[in-house]
Amino acid sequence: MVFVGLLFAFAAAEEEAPVCQILGSPEIPLLSKGGDVTIGGAFSIHSKIAQPPLSFTVKPTRLTCSSVNLREFRFAQIMIFAIEEINKSDVLLPNVSIGYRIYDNCGSTLSSMRAVMALMNGDELTTGKSCSGQSAVHAIIGESESSSTIVLSRTTGPFKIPVISHSATCECLSNRKEYPSFFRTIASDLYQSRALTQLVKHFGWTWVGAVNSDSDYGNNGMAIFLAAAQEEGVCFEYTEKFHREEPEKLMKVVEVIRKSTARVIVAFLAHVEMNNLLEQLSLHNITGRQFIGVEAWITADSLVTPTSFTVLGGSLGFAVQKANISGLDEFLTKDFWQGEFKCKEGHNNSITGAAPCKENHNLTELKYYNDDVTELRYSGNIYKAIYAVAYSLHSMLKCSQSQGCDRTVKVTPWQAVESLKQVNFTTKNGEQVWFDSTGAAVALYEVVNWQRGSDGSVHFKPVGYYDASLPPGKKFFLKNDAIMWPGGNTEANMLTKSHT
Ligand SMILES: *[C@@H]1O[C@H](CO)[C@@H](O)[C@H](O)[C@H]1NC(C)=O
Ligand SMILES: *[C@@H]1O[C@H](CO)[C@@H](O)[C@H](O)[C@H]1NC(C)=O
Ligand SMILES: *[C@@H]1O[C@H](CO)[C@@H](O)[C@H](O)[C@H]1NC(C)=O
């Protein structure tokens, strides 16, 4: 709706500049701060949404979201952390302040669409002047899942507004014709699928089962893996898929696994589906399988429960490298709550820069939650994405440490896209960041293994790596004797014996 309003105003602007007005109610960001330049964010901070009844006789009420997702909330916090760090620095973007506008899409594409519109159009009911046609943000960070990132990039693509995802890995997003302004600080699954093939081949497993999420992520990733693995002579006893909203299909998959003879299962699942599968396997006491996992779930803390180790112990899979960002702990547990998280009592649709308190009450409870700070992986990708935007703006605004930046330069979104293609910088912990011709980062994964520590806690032990930048034959490395197999075995024998 907002969209139509914007297009109409473009057409009319040449004649007599009408007042620019948003149709419907403005969407207020969950977290925001003004600045000379603004970076947008879209995350699933809540994971459930309640649709108000649509009787079409009264104006629908606001969508209400519930069930906070800590991992996604951390993404928003890290985005703010990086922005503040750059804002304070006088090397990068001196004399330019950076603002942000972060929306919660509550895990729904409908809500996602509203967030994208708001990011592009701003949330002022009326600007009091003609529409400038200028996006309210210079770049958008998000989203986490491939399917929602596709919605986001398809919508912003025609306006050439850069989108940088920290975790959407679908190979489908590498298509430059369809997604001309998409970037990611993570590699395409083209590499992960190849790496999975190397892993399966390494142990000589030729009789395996495969399960994937029925989504862009799972279907594309599995297709590439199947093709590569079959070329290497791997046979598949079954290839099954299900979606989080298909409980009957999930039960069918569980039945297939229960009856199967293949001991090795390659699970190309998003963490929501992995969680659903895990619940059922635990419930039916189906254990003794060797799971091979992907970055989406292999290091997901939410899967570690008192009973999950009997199913997933010994799992092997590829993980995004751990982030080591100094000063972050302090920010997450203290500064953020003192400085950034402000909400406003009562509903008010005018621009306030603060989300209503009542609806976001559950977020304040996260204040005391800091156990997961050591397992931050995608967070490093958010950090790199923000810096990439900052470096691109730094060059567009012709900044120098002595002269400052030229704040009169008007930055258009397509210039930002071109500038992002050129960035090449080193983060403060020594990582080189640049985008390849598809807009993605170079593939570098850690191989991790689900092990139990002496204190009984589950940890994701690094046992190797896959580095696509190294020459053939050197890309994949595995430390065999560091691996703990399902059931606590120190040898893989019981798995290879099941070849038929
Ligand atoms: C950036 O710095 C300016 C000036 O010091 C300050 O007013 C603003 O609040 C800062 N913004 C953020 C996001 O830290
Ligand atoms: C909303 O905020 C505006 C500006 O702060 C104020 O004038 C208005 O009375 C508020 N409306 C409600 C319903 O609180
Ligand atoms: C990025 O910079 C590094 C160090 O200056 C250089 O080695 C590398 O080749 C550059 N990469 C690209 C793609 O330009």
Ligand having the closest approach to the CA of 442: 3
**Interatomic CA distance for residues 163 and 183, integer angstroms:** 6
Model confidence over 5-43: pLDDT tens digits? 444 444 444 455 567 777 777 778 888 899 999 999 999
Q: 422 C-alpha to center of ligand 3: Å?
A: 10
Q: Which range has the worst mean pLDDT, 129-133, 236-240, 256-260?
A: 129-133
pTM: 0.86
Ligand having the closest approach to the CA of 434: 3
Identify the pLDDT of residue 8.
42
For residue 83, give the ligand 1 atom closest to its CA. Answer: 13
246 by Cβ neighbours in 10 Å (0-12 / 13-18 / 19+) ranks as: middle
Answer whether 424 contacts ligand 3 (Cβ < 6 A).
yes
Pocket test for ligand 1, best of 84, 95, 97 (most atoms within 8 A of CB): 97
**Interatomic CA distance for residues 117 and 391, integer angstroms:** 26
Identify the pLDDT of residue 340.
63
**Interatomic CA distance for residues 34 and 383, integer angstroms:** 20
Q: Grade residue 317 by pLDDT with cuts at 50, 70 and 90.
A: very high
pLDDT at 356 over 80: no
Phi, psi of 313 (to 5 degrees): -55, 135
Per-residue CA distances from 147 to 78, 88, 108 (Å): 23, 35, 10
Q: Are 96 and 397 in contact (CB under 8 A)?
A: yes
β-pair type (207-213, 235-242): parallel
How confident is the prediction for the chain on average, in pLDDT? Answer: 86
Phi, psi of 383 (to 5 degrees): -55, -45
Q: 178 C-alpha to center of ligand 3: Å?
A: 27
Identify the pLDDT of residue 214.
96
**Interatomic CA distance for residues 104 and 359, integer angstroms:** 12
pLDDT at 498 over 60: no
pLDDT at 453 over 50: yes
pLDDT at 499 over 80: no
For residue 436, give the ligand 3 atom closest to its CA. Answer: 13
Model confidence over 40-70: pLDDT tens digits? 999 998 888 887 777 888 877 777 888 888 8
The more confident residue out of 188 and 126 is 188
State the residue for tokens 């699928």.
193
Q: Which protein residue has the closest C-alpha to ligand 2 atom 10?
A: 348
Q: Grade residue 124 by pLDDT with cuts at 50, 70 and 90.
A: low
The more confident residue out of 50 and 365 is 50
pLDDT at 332 over 70: yes
Model confidence over 408-445: pLDDT tens digits? 888 888 899 999 999 999 998 889 999 999 999 999 99
Q: Which range has the worst mean pLDDT, 64-68, 300-304, 333-337, 364-368?
A: 364-368
Ligand having the closest approach to the CA of 351: 2
Q: Which range has the worst mean pLDDT, 77-81, 84-88, 128-132?
A: 128-132
Pocket test for ligand 3, best of 391, 425, 434 (most atoms within 8 A of CB): 434
β-pair type (444-452, 316-320): antiparallel
The more confident residue out of 355 and 168 is 168
* Residues contacting 287, CB < 8 A, separation 6+: 281, 310, 311, 486, 487
Identify the pLDDT of residue 271.
87
Model confidence over 163-214: pLDDT tens digits? 999 999 999 999 999 999 999 999 999 999 999 999 999 999 999 999 999 9
Nearest to 3 by CA among 108, 116, 109, 103: 116
Identify the pLDDT of residue 242.
97
Identify the pLDDT of residue 16.
53
Ligand 2 binding site (Cβ under 6 Å of any ligand atom): 346, 348, 350
Q: Map out the domains of the chain with their CATH numbers.
A: 189-321+442-496 (3.40.50.2300)
Question: What type of residue sits at position 495?
Answer: L
Question: What type of residue sits at position 465?
Answer: Y
Q: How many of the other CB atoms lie within 10 Å of CB of 29?
A: 25
Q: How many of the other CB atoms lie within 10 Å of CB of 494?
A: 14
Q: Which range has the worst mean pLDDT, 75-84, 281-290, 355-364?
A: 355-364
Question: What type of residue sits at position 254?
Answer: V
**Interatomic CA distance for residues 179 and 199, integer angstroms:** 31
State the residue for tokens 């567009």.
396
